[in-house]
Structure 1
Amino acid sequence: MGAGGRMSSPSSHAKVEPDRLVQKRAPDTKPPFTLGELKKAIPPHCFHRSVLRSFSYVVYDLIIASLLYHAATTYFHLLPRPLSYVAWPIYWAVQGCVLTGVWVLAHECGHHAFSDYQLLDDIVGLVLHSCLLVPYFSWKHSHRRHHSNTGSLDRDEVFVPKQKSSLSWFSKYLNNPPGRLLTITVTLTLGWPLYLACNVSGRPYDRFACHYDPYGPIFNDRERAEIYISDAGVLAVIFGLYRLAAARGLAWVLCVYGGPLLVVNSFLVLITYLQHTHVALPHYDSSEWDWFRGALATVDRDYGILNRVFHHITDTHVAHHLFSTMPHYHAMEATRAIKPLLGEYYQSDDTPFYRAIWREGKECIYVQQDEGKPKNKGVYWYSNKFD
């Protein structure tokens, strides 16, 4: 591991156990470099946001999505029935990947990485996210808090790992291949809507938390009006889908829109989960956590050709957490620039995502402190051992 290293490579001093990841841990001490030193290592133009360039990605993605929609609605019904059964799932997968890229561009708007104009970013983000049934401002605010508290067991917003004593009673019964398959399936299909509606896998609050509730504990008083706007955007799209279903039929809407949306939602959960879940990554309680080490406790993943489709949100995530207002089209160059300085603090893993989700689902069940270490150290690591 280290600059340019791959976390999937076993340590030379470690004994490889069958079907188990063995890996050198990331450093959990304060790094010997500063955020300012990392920023100086990045060419200044990487922080420049271009309205025209940012919009070019939006236009490109929407053109591809429109062509796929045209092909599906114009030609699929002409195919013999066996071929149409194959064509539609292919359309769902490909269109879902393209629309995940659109989702990423809206995510850029939420970080003010789309342009120099906050109002323009919010308008573009609201339109794009609402079309994918995402409450833009709600997600923007909760996601900002995730970036402000990454790696904190007490304050991070999403995919907060549990300690062993906090696991549900049935967790050990799911720690097997069938249980793991069930857990992954439910997580990828229902995880995103359940997170938005019920804060499932999110930070614990003292009362019910929901991304659609302007007066929920996730948001402060200054943000509540924007939550109403987010809800209105989602409701407007739902109403449009209702009118389409009334005119064209529910099956048509599910085929053209529902299938790709399911793929989008699955990738959102998968990408986020794998960015923050790995046996080599530390987590910290309030006695040890600081923003810089938390931001470094993330991992770049390789999705092959999908890296480009997803606008490199997958393989430049470390740089994104350090400099979230940087446009995605400069993130690769920035990553190359900071890797030598990051050294062992840079985490990456080129394991194919479909293997990584299975492996992490097996290895990363809960977090605990190392045995024999002082209890006040405040650093926690993933484990999967049940008595």
Structure 2
Amino acid sequence: MVDPKQVQLKKSVMPYENHERGISIRQMFNTLVPLAALWYAAYYCLSISYWLTLAIGVVAAGFVIRTFIIFHDCCHGSFFRSKRANDIVGIITGVITFVPYQQWKNSHAIHHATSSNLDKRGVGDLWILTVEEYVSASWLTKLTYRFYRNPLVMFGLGPIFVFLLQYRFNRKGARKKERMNTYLMNVLLVVTYGLLGWAIGWKELLLVQGPIFYLSGVLGIWLFYVQHQFEDSYFEHEEEWSYVNAAVDGSSFYKLPKVLQWLTGNIGFHHVHHLSPKVPNYKLEVAHEATPPLHKATTINILQSLESLKFRLWDEEGKRFVSFKQAKQHMKQASRIGKGKLGEPRAS
């Protein structure tokens, strides 16, 4: 049975689903133009100091994240009214961010439809095992999972694997339109960066683009990770799962300083975004402020978000994320209790 309060909460953000073409165009201008200028400045500074190039690259990586938010809105059809305009801008920004438009659009739609559903994991999300699943897994699965969840792997190797390798191939079962779009994106990447390498030199291209690509990839994975991996998150099996609860309780409000909030396109208001993906990024904060029930979403700041690095497994019994160490202690305690019960004398 659908909870009327949840229906009402979803309806309460509907007035903010309308996109404004003027704001969208202005956002493209104040994102892509500075990014291009910063990229050129980083290249120009190669002849002065590579440290200066790297410093400029850090700022440029922030604008790549902002570019990705435009791409993200295009995937949801929330940046422009026109589907064609969303597709064109989505492909252009996809080349800049190294993300295939149709592939990500489809997998991300599945992520929104199944987020926090324990029975529908595996598409568009991070690999998450429950404590029970981990305990009963084979040694190889445990080793692989530990490797995958290690921060040095997820945030160190992750950007290279995901953005440079994984996204170059089609998903299993992808339809023709998605497959063709992935091929198109790969060709556009080769042409774009091939021309840049020809124009300025391959060494110079790698020295400038390499750090920008890598750092923006790290930041992108971090934002996706931290906004669903907080201690008292929300996960349920299909029969108990609720779309609204998954949005409000399973997505955090990542409260960032205003400059970082601007660079990340308000994606910190992730609970609002998951409640209604049609709300454009520039209206997420307004929707949050105007809807009191959304103020109850879990709020985390930068310092608090660092704690999420220790979370590895979902504890179904405790309804929270735990570390491997906490899971081990929990299982030992449960084992002792179980043995104690087995040793109890039977009633005569």
- After TM superposition, is the score higher than 0.5? yes
Mapped to 2, the partners of 1:120 and 1:174 lie a distance apart of: 41
Instruction: Give, in angstroms, the shift of residue 198 of structure 1.
Output: 8.1
- Measure, in 2, the Cα distance between the counterparts of 1:310 and 1:234: 25
- The within-5 A match list for 1:1-387 is 33-40=5-12, 42=13, 44=15, 46-77=16-47, 79=48, 84-156=49-121, 157=123, 158-164=125-131, 165-166=133-134, 169=139, 183-195=150-162, 212-213=169-170, 216-217=172-173, 219=174, 223-296=175-248, 297-304=250-257, 305-314=259-268, 316-338=269-291, 340-342=292-294, 344=296, 346-352=297-303, 356-357=305-306, 359-362=307-310, 364-370=311-317, 380-384=319-323, 385-386=327-328, 387=332
Q: How far apart, CA to CA, are the structure 2 residues paired with 1:145 and 1:68?
A: 35
Instruction: Report deviation, 1:38.
Output: 4.4
Which secondary structure does the structure 2 equivalent of 1:86 belong to?
Answer: helix
Displacement of 1:294 after TM fit? Answer: 1.7
Count of residues paired in the alignment? 318
| TM-score under structure 1 length normalisation | 0.74
Look up the equivalent residue of 2:126 and give its one-letter code: F
Query: Within 2, Cα distance between the matches of 1:170 and 1:227?
Result: 32
Residue 332 of structure 1: CA displacement?
0.5
Deviation at 1:281, TM superposition (A): 0.7
SS at match of 1:283: coil
Q: Distance in 2 between matches of 1:153 and 1:198?
A: 28
Unaligned runs of 5+ in 1: 1-29, 200-209, 372-379
TM superposition shift of 1:110: 0.3
Shift of 1:343: 5.7
Deviation at 1:250, TM superposition (A): 2.2
Distance in 2, matches of 1:169 and 1:284, equals 26
Q: Secondary structure at the match of 2:129?
A: coil
3-state secondary structure, aligned to 2:302? coil
Q: Is the 8 A contact 1:114 1:327 kept in 2?
A: yes
| Separation of aligned partners in 1, 2:138 and 2:288 | 39
Q: Structure 2 length normalisation: TM-score?
A: 0.81
User: Whose Rg is larger?
Assistant: 2
3-state SS, counterpart of residue 284 of structure 1: coil
SS of the counterpart of 1:33?
helix
Q: Residues of 1 paired with 2:241 and 2:162: CA distance?
A: 25
Greater CA drift, 230-239 or 266-275? 230-239
Letter matched to residue 60 of structure 2: Q
CA separation of 1:349 and 1:170: change in aligned 2, threshold 3 A = farther
Gaps of 5+ in 2: 333-348
- Partners of 1:318 and 1:150 lie apart in 2 by 12
Q: How far did 1:52 drift?
A: 2.1
Determine helix, strand or coil for the equivalent of 1:367: strand
Task: Give, in angstroms, the shift of residue 137 of structure 1.
Answer: 0.6
The 8 Å contact of residues 134 and 234 in structure 1, kept in 2 or not, is answered as no
Which amino acid in the other structure matches residue 81 of structure 2? D
The alpha-carbon deviation at position 168 of structure 1 amounts to 6.9
Are the counterparts in 2 of residues 135 and 212 from structure 1 also a CA contact under 8 Å? no
Distance, in Å, in 1 between the alignment partners of 2:71 and 2:295 is: 31
Structure holding more helix per residue: 2
